[in-house]
Structure 1
Amino acid sequence: MSTPRRFLPSVSSLLALEAVERLGTAIAAAEELSLTHSAVSRQLKVLEEQLGVQMFFREGKSLAMTPAGIAYARSVRGYLRNLSQASLQLKARGPKSAVNIATPPAFGAYWLTPRLKRFQERAPDILINQYTRLAPFDFFQENMDAAIHSGAQDWGNVHSLALSRDRVIPACAPGFAPTLPFPAEALRDQPLLHLETRPGGWEEWFHAQSVETAQLRGMMFDQVATMARAAAVGMGVALLPDFVAAHEFETGALVPAHDGYSETDGAYSLVWPKTQAPSPPLARLIDWLRSERMVES
């Protein structure tokens, strides 16, 4: 059921309310909005009368917000932000269709973006917008058409298309040690760099090499790219996904610290909600990614 229009305030009133709550005074809000003080006051009065709730205490020319007014203004701020973003997106894409994809930053930069260049050449009428996300989210709460999910297939109520197996390799700076690569046992004694989003990654890697470990400590990073830079300046050995490592090896910034890639139990997959059919632009992207993925059905 649609909301009755009488309960929908004007954007001008909401802008005035948000500015007063954020800036503290109607005078400051008027200056930011290029309005007179009386114009802002009128907008606030109309808003109170329309909703039937007192949102301000008035004493002479001074104005203080009630708890209800503060709570409402903070909710309005999110609405205004979403409206602004939607308007900017529409202006940026013009008449073209767009697909919004949430992706882990490293996968988006090193695996997805180079391939999207080829998709853009085939579908110049579609824009692919990328947004960084590190964890699953609610498609109903965020304006995303699809997302890249890594790790176990534990994101419910979605379709999925596996894109790439999760393979890793230890990497370090070319001058990190006199002799490279290391045997697996020798890596245990090196400063190991850890990734926050891959807890236990080193333990799993050593287990796959049949090497016993205990209390693997070291520096922690929340981004793969930052960890790779730390390894490149000689701060330790990083366990990198193959799409990052391949780029770093090609540039010469890093070299393998141990021979060969190791597969983990996870994979990178494109996911999109089951609750609605994909839009035509998303359907074209899904079909194209089926030919680009590195995982067989």
Structure 2
Amino acid sequence: MIASRRFLPSINSLTALEAVDRLGSATAAAQDLSLTHSAVSRQLKVLEDQLGVTLFVREGKGLKLTLAGETYAQSVREVLKQLAQASLKVKATGSRSSLNLAVLPTFGMYWLTPRLRAFCQANPGIQINQATRVLPFDFQQDPFDAALHFGTRNWPGVHYLPLAPERVMAVCAPDFTSKLPMAPEHLLEYPLLHLESRPGAWENWFSQQGLTASRLRGMLFDQFTNMTEAAAAGFGAALLPDFLAQAEIARGRVVAACDETSDADGTYYLVWPKTGDQSDALSKLIDWLKNDGKIAP
């Protein structure tokens, strides 16, 4: 239930408070909001009278927020941000149904998004929104209908739809060495790039080539995209998912460091919560992925 309107301050008063807190003065806030200094001061006074709490004190010709004012301004900023996001979502979606997906950036960009074009053409009444999440989260706290997940079935409270196993390739810059592709054992002599979310990836790859590798040192990255840039710049060899490696090879930015492609220890899944009602849009996406979506575009 929404509180009585007399407890709900006007947007003008809230934006004035947020701007003063963010910019440090009523003068700067007035410039930011295209208002006069007196108009900003008046909005703050209206807000203060409505709440019955001192939100600011005068310091010379300026205003300084009290502790209560600063605390309230932080909450107001989050509310205004959520309101702006909700307004943008409604504006962008229009009368269509929306489906909010949390995606792994690289898999979402190179595997899922190209396939979604066919789904959206077949379902013009559904709009799919995407936001990046790289770790499991609580569906009760984050407003997502489903998410992409890599690894094992270790996300509690969700359904799983396997999408694709991960196969990896060792790649490097075209001028990384004069002998390319090289034998896997020779790769041990060169710098290797590592991804934080794939500990032991190189050790597993060398093991599949019948080699034992330890104390593998090299630059560390938190995203495939950054690691790919480093590989293309010649900083070392990188293990990339085959869908990303093939795209970068086609662009001429990297080449295969070795001919071997190996299975990684993990699977890509679509996951969605077991609790709550499943929307019609999500049901259509799940059915489409089961029947048509895994086919390469």
TM-score, with normalisation over the residues of structure 1? 0.90
- CA distance in structure 1 between the partners assigned to 2:96 and 2:125 by the alignment: 5
Q: Deviations over 1:84-115 (max 9, x none)?
A: 12212221222222212121111111001110
In the other structure, the counterpart of 2:224 is 224
DSSP-derived class of the 1:261 partner: strand
Mean CA deviation greater in 248-257 or 217-226: 248-257
Aligned identity (percent) is 56
Q: Give the AA of the match of 1:64.
A: K
1:103 matched to 2:90? The reply is no
In structure 2, the partner of 1:45 is: 45
Segment of structure 1 superposing worse, 55-64 or 24-33: 55-64
| Partner residue, 1:68 | 68
Q: Does 1:190 align with 2:210?
A: no
Greater Cα shift, 109-118 or 262-271: 262-271
2:115–2:293 CA contact under 8 A, matched in 1: no
Shift of 1:170: 0.9
Q: 1:137 to 1:7 in 2, by over 3 A?
A: farther
Contact 1:190–1:237 (CA under 8 A) maintained in structure 2: yes
**2:222 counterpart letter in structure 1:** D
Q: Which amino acid aligns with 2:7?
A: F
Q: Call closer, same or farther: CA 1:138–1:52 in 2, change over 3 Å.
A: farther
Q: Which amino acid aligns with 1:29?
A: A
- Which moves more between the two structures, 142-151 or 1-10? 1-10
What amino acid is the match of 2:11?
V
Post-superposition Cα deviations, 1:17-45, rounded to whole Å, max 9, x if no partner, equal 10111111222222322333333223222
Query: Residue 192 of structure 1: SS of its match in structure 2?
Result: coil
In structure 1, distance between residues paired with 2:224 and 2:270: 20
2:117 corresponding residue in structure 1: 117
Q: Aligned-pair distance for 1:276?
A: 1.4
SS of 1:264 mapped into structure 2:
strand
- Distance in 1 (CA, whole Å) between partners of 2:48 and 2:200 is 55
SS at match of 2:154: coil
Q: Which residue of 2 aligns with 1:36?
A: 36
CA distance in 1, matches of 2:216, 2:181: 20
2:287 aligned residue? 287
Alignment of 1:51-90 (within 5 A): 51-58=51-58, 61-90=61-90
Q: Which runs of 5+ in 2 are unaligned?
A: none
| Displacement of 1:283 | 1.8
Tell me which residue corresponds to 1:7. 7
Matched, 1:134 2:134: yes
TM-superposed deviation, 1:118: 1.0
Partner Cα separation in structure 2 for residue 197 and residue 111 of structure 1: 19
Return the alpha-carbon distance in structure 2 between the equivalents of residues 62 and 172 of structure 1.
59
CA deviation after TM superposition for structure 1 residue 284, in Å: 1.3
Q: For 2:19, give the aligned amino acid.
A: A
Q: What TM-score do the two structures reach when normalised by structure 2?
A: 0.90
The number of equivalent residue pairs is: 295
User: How far off its partner does 1:293 sit?
Assistant: 5.3
Q: Distance in 2 between matches of 1:165 and 1:44?
A: 57
CA contact under 8 A between 2:201 and 2:264: conserved in structure 1?
no
Measure how far apart 1:221 and its partner are: 2.2
CA–CA distance in 2 between the matches of 1:287 and 1:11?
43
Query: Which has the higher mean CA deviation after the structures are superposed, 281-290 or 242-251?
Result: 242-251
Q: 1:141 to 1:255 in 2, by over 3 A?
A: same
Deviations 1:66-89 (A, max 9, x none): 112111111211111111122122
**In structure 2, what is the equivalent of residue 277 of structure 1?**
277
- CA shift, 1:59, in A, is 5.2
Quote how far apart the aligned CAs of 1:158 are.
1.9
Cα displacement (A) at 1:154: 2.2
Q: Is the 8 A contact 1:164 1:293 kept in 2?
A: no
Question: 1:218 deviation in Å?
Answer: 0.8
Separation in 2, partners of 1:52, 1:136 = 42
User: Which region of structure 1 is more displaced relative to structure 2, 43-52 or 232-241?
Assistant: 43-52
- Aligned pairs for 1:11-22 within 5 A: 11-22=11-22
Aligned-residue offset at 1:57:
1.7
Give the superposition deviation at 1:61.
Answer: 4.6
Contact kept in structure 2, 1:102 and 1:131, CA below 8 Å = yes
AA aligned opposite 2:105:
P
The one-letter code matched in structure 1 to 2:68 is A
Per the TM alignment, residue 271 of structure 1 is displaced from its structure 2 partner at its CA by 1.5
